[in-house]
């Protein structure tokens, strides 16, 4: 079994753990990512998102060891690393598959995300006029600060803060969550990840205004947008596989991270 190690370069804990793993796996380190059986990610959720973007064409399972803050995507903490690695080497693990979003911006730019696509008016003083069609049918039309299109992996991030629902990790669903809609009747909706989405936007413009709306993918890739345009999400991307060495209780993890339902 061959491994490729992808640590957070600015984390001392991740660098130290990478050195320990490299010593342990000296004869099992792949020369490049596409020759590995498993990519080991050492860091937080942000490191995992960067790894997916950097290695998206590699199509290998990711094993995430939390050296960051929340670690929703991680399998274990640093103290459990070697024990969980032994399980993986013995084949005692399963793969958990996570939906990705794939879209085409303005009929030319390919956009992907594991967590979310975020439309936002940025520093503009005007609201965005956003319209969403699902499989050709009008689903949302409103004026507001923006729109979050998120996967189950991203449902516990900005989506949750904006009032969107939490989705179970392996659901093949997407959430469309308006941000600060000017209409109180506008609510988040949930669609299939296999649905075809057309998101169009339009913004009023004041002469001399220098700010523009933007689209951000996973907090990693930002695109300044014209005053009007369209994003198409036509078909699901290949899912991302995460290595799991235990039967995770997602609800327990969520309550622990969010401090929900704590006893007085």
Give the whole-angstrom CA distance, residue 195 versus residue 130: 18
Assign residue 14 a region (left: φ > 0; alpha: ψ between -120 and 50; beta: otherwise).
alpha
CB 31 within 8 A of CB 60: no
| Rounded alpha-carbon distances, angstroms, from residue 19 to 7, 25, 26, 71 | 10, 10, 10, 21
What is the enclosing helix (H) or strand (E) of 77?
A: strand 76-77
Is 145 marked active-site?
Answer: no
- Per-residue buried b or exposed e for 158-171, using 16+ beta carbons within 10 Å of the residue's own CB: bbbebebeebebee
Question: Under a CB-based contact definition with an 8 Å cutoff, are residues 53 and 210 in contact?
Answer: no
Active-site option among 27, 34, 37, 45? 45
- Chain centroid to Cα 252, Å, comes to 21
CB-CB contact of 74 with 65 (8 Å): yes
Q: What is the largest CA-CA distance in the chain?
A: 65
Give me the active site residues, please: 45
């Amino acid at each position: 079994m061959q491994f490729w190690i992808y640590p957070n370069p600015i984390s001392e804990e991740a660098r130290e753990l990478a050195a320990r793993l490299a010593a342990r796996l000296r004869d099992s380190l792949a020369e490049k990512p596409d020759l590995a059986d498993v990519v080991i990610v050492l860091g937080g959720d942000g490191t995992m998102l960067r790894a997916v973007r950097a290695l998206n064409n590699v199509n290998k399972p990711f094993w995430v060891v939390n050296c960051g803050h929340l670690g929703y995507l991680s399998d274990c903490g640093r103290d459990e690393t070697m024990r969980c690695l032994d399980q993986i080497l013995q084949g005692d693990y399963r793969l958990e598959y996570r939906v990705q979003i794939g879209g085409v911006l303005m009929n030319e730019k390919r956009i992907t995300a594991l967590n979310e696509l975020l439309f936002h008016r940025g520093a503009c003083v005007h609201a965005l006029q956003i319209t969403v069609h699902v499989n050709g049918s009008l689903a949302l039309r409103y004026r507001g600060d923006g729109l979050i299109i998120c996967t189950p992996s991203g449902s516990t991030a900005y989506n949750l803060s904006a009032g969107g629902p939490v989705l179970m990790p392996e659901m093949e669903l997407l959430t469309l969550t308006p941000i600060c809609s000017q209409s109180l009747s506008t609510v988040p909706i949930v669609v299939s990840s296999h649905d075809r989405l057309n998101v169009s936007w339009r913004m009023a413009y004041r002469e001399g205004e220098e700010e523009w709306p933007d689209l951000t993918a996973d907090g990693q890739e930002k695109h300044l947008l014209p005053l009007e345009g369209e994003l198409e999400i036509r078909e699901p991307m290949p899912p991302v596989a995460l290595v799991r060495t235990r039967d995770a209780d997602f609800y327990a993890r969520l309550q622990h991270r969010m401090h929900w339902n704590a006893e007085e």
